[in-house]
Amino acid sequence: MGNANTDRKTLTLPSDVSAVERVCEGLLAEAAAQSFGEDDLFAIHLALEEALMNAAKHGNALDPKKCVRVEYQITPEKFDVTITDQGCGFNPDALPDPRSEENLYKYGGRGVLLMRAYMDTVEFNPSGNRVHMVKYRTNQTATG
């Protein structure tokens, strides 16, 4: 049932939306093959989409000359991913809180909040162009 390889892997994708969705599908399939449950897969999917879109859209500004690098390892215990873009980076500590009154009606700015809510670890490098996320398996019924 799918590839249950737990080695650390790397892939590179162009900075476009369809590539992001293909990569998300692929990683989710690998997580499902490791019997992550429905709730964990939802969490991983959402955090991955947000992080990859941030890298492609905000980090690389959808520049076709820039790539997004994904390093990941999926084991029965955890989903571990590091996403790096080729942009200038940003200060994740300076992000405005999208839940504050002045930001609640803004159209964007919720991606990092959702990443932090759904993943057990979310760490940015000092320049902000790399994020490391980990989701540990929770006890639930596996899919598939």
Partner 1 sequence: MNDKKSPPVAVTYEGDVTIATLTRERILEDADIRALEETILPLIAQADSIRLVIDFSTVRFLTSAALGLLIRISKKVREQGGRLALCSIQPKIYEVFRITQLDQVFQIFPDADQAAKNV
Whole-angstrom distance, CA of residue 56 vs CA of residue 13? 9
Taken in order 15, 18, 22, 24, the sign of the CA dihedral is positive
66 within 8 A of 15, measured Cβ to Cβ = yes
32 within 8 A of 144, measured Cβ to Cβ = yes
Q: What is the binding site for partner 1 (CB under 8 A)? A: 17, 20-21, 39, 42, 45-46, 49-50, 53, 98-99, 104-108, 110-111, 113-114, 117
